[in-house]
Amino acid sequence: MKIKTATKPGLYADGGGLYLQITAAGVKSWLFRYMRNGKARGMGLGPLHTIGLAEARAFALDCRRQLLADVDPIDARNAERMSKRVAQADEMTFEQCASKYIKAHRAGWKNAKHADQWTNTLKTYAYPVFDSLPVSAIDTPLVMKVLEPIWTAKTETASRIRGRIESVLDWATVQRYRAGENPARLKGHLDKLLPKRSRVQKVTHHPAMPYADISEFMEILRAEQGVAARALEFLILTATRTNEVIGAKWDELDAERTVWIIPAERMKMRKEHRVPLSARAVELIKVQETLREGDYLFPGAKYGKSLSNMAMLELLKRMGSHHFTVHGFRSTFRDWAGETTNAPREVCEAALAHGLKDKAEAAYARGDLFEKRITLMQQWADFIGATA
């Protein structure tokens, strides 16, 4: 009768940790309260309209028995639910999970090409091995079957595939399609089965022009006509990347056209990068401003489109410098800065928008050393003979 007539919000003890709980809205339900490792916990047993007093007392008795056996009732219930979810997910394959993972993360990736790389590499190497097996059945031997054939011959590709498999399996675990440790994790697991990347992978660098030859090259480059030539010169002057230059927009420049602010979403490190512009870089911008079409500093052939990401590389080939890469000019700049100037290492790295590898050092490096980089970038422009 008390259970039926009680209306005041609060907890009503029945004994043995069982309580009738009445909310401010008048909803009645059963609650089992207990202490575990010095902390109070509460486990809902169901609403009064479904679970009667006798059944609630029986549930509470089961909980007390679990506690006597040193089993946490809430943890036991969660584990049981997980097992049922995994059992019900037998038809959810790795490929289906990967597809859902890619769809969920596509918006956060820089471009569609990244999503295509995920899909293509998994389709080529992982799906044929995992076949139509449920994701809960993916184990270490299956992961090794994917990686071992390519770990030595295609180390970089294999490493990326391992990371992608690990991410998909982590997603599947959080979604409760599988349980247990991730068989694709590297540290403390696969690193015991696979040789270190440094032992099997040949380090290849982007072919870079020696800094002693850059002045002569710049003289030839300035004689070239076209947007690609101006874009390449601007890239060399600013020591930036191809995508950063071809995606440069007029609204990224300050009013005086002396600072280029690349937004975080266009940077590899996802951090805004301020680029001090040398006198010659400013001159290039002024030239482009007289030919301004649309939003881009270096527009493509079609109105409203940026320059192609292959345009500068094709220019190098036409100039007979096909053995060098566009990205390699960043290495040229870094070699020059390290070997011929007194600029501190952190200033040189900041000019390239590189993050500091030492985490402790990075924690204290709050600024971007902009004032010091102004001098460094003008010295670079002077060195390469960048005059109009």
Domain boundary among 177, 200, 223: 200
Domain boundary among 200, 223, 248: 200
Distances (CA, A) of 169 to 29, 160, 279: 37, 14, 52
Distances (CA, A) of 227 to 299, 302, 314, 325: 7, 13, 12, 18
What mean pLDDT is predicted for residues 69-80? 91
Q: Are residues 196 and 47 in the same domain?
A: no
Confidence grade of residue 197 (pLDDT, cut at 50, 70, 90) = confident
Q: Are residues 14 and 138 in the same domain?
A: no
User: Rounded to whole angstroms, how far apart are CA atoms 187 and 319?
Assistant: 47
Q: Which domain holds residue 260?
A: 211-383
Q: Are residues 251 and 346 in the same domain?
A: yes
Q: Write the DSSP string, 25-44.
A: T--EEEEEEEEETTEEEEEE
Which of these, 169, 39, 45, lies nearest to 96 by C-alpha position?
169
pLDDT tens track for 204-256 = 556 789 999 999 999 999 999 999 999 999 999 999 999 999 999 999 999 88
Exposed/middle/buried for residue 135 (C-beta within 10 Å: 0-12, 13-18, 19+): buried
User: Rounded to whole angstroms, how far apart are CA atoms 336 and 326?
Assistant: 16
Mapped onto helix, strand or coil, the DSSP state of residue 94 is helix
What mean pLDDT is predicted for residues 39-50? 92
Q: Are residues 285 and 231 in the same domain?
A: yes
User: Rounded to whole angstroms, how far apart are CA atoms 326 and 307?
Assistant: 14
Per the structure block, which two tokens stand in for 56? 């609630």
pLDDT tens track for 255-303 = 888 999 999 988 888 889 999 999 999 999 999 999 898 899 999 988 8
Per the structure block, which two tokens stand in for 116? 């295509």
Q: Are residues 241 and 379 in the same domain?
A: yes
pLDDT tens track for 341-383 = 999 999 999 999 987 555 444 444 456 899 999 999 999 999 9
pLDDT tens track for 12-30 = 999 999 999 999 989 999 9
Residue 388 lies in a domain: no
Q: Are residues 49 and 76 in the same domain?
A: yes
Q: Are residues 49 and 145 in the same domain?
A: no
Q: How many domains does the chain have?
A: 3
CATH number of domain containing 135: 1.10.150.130
User: Rounded to whole angstroms, how far apart are CA atoms 211 and 333?
Assistant: 7
User: Rounded to whole angstroms, how far apart are CA atoms 184 and 141?
Assistant: 10
Q: Are residues 277 and 344 in the same domain?
A: yes
Cβ atoms of residues 120 and 102 within 8 Å: no
pLDDT tens track for 327-339 = 999 999 999 999 9
Burial 321-335 (b: 16+ CB within 10 A, else e): beebbbbbbbbbbbb
Residue 205 lies in a domain: no
Q: Are residues 161 and 268 in the same domain?
A: no
pLDDT at 51 over 50: yes
Q: Are residues 227 and 318 in the same domain?
A: yes
Cβ atoms of residues 127 and 85 within 8 Å: no
pLDDT tens track for 93-120 = 999 999 999 999 988 776 667 888 899 9
Which of these, 385, 374, 110, lies nearest to 263 by C-alpha position?
110
Beta strands in the chain (DSSP E): 10-15, 18-22, 28-36, 39-47, 259-262, 273-276
CATH number of domain containing 318: 1.10.443
Residue 285 lies in a domain: yes
- pLDDT at position 4: 83
Residue 340 lies in a domain: yes
Q: Are residues 98 and 178 in the same domain?
A: yes
Confidence grade of residue 90 (pLDDT, cut at 50, 70, 90) = low
Residue 21 lies in a domain: yes
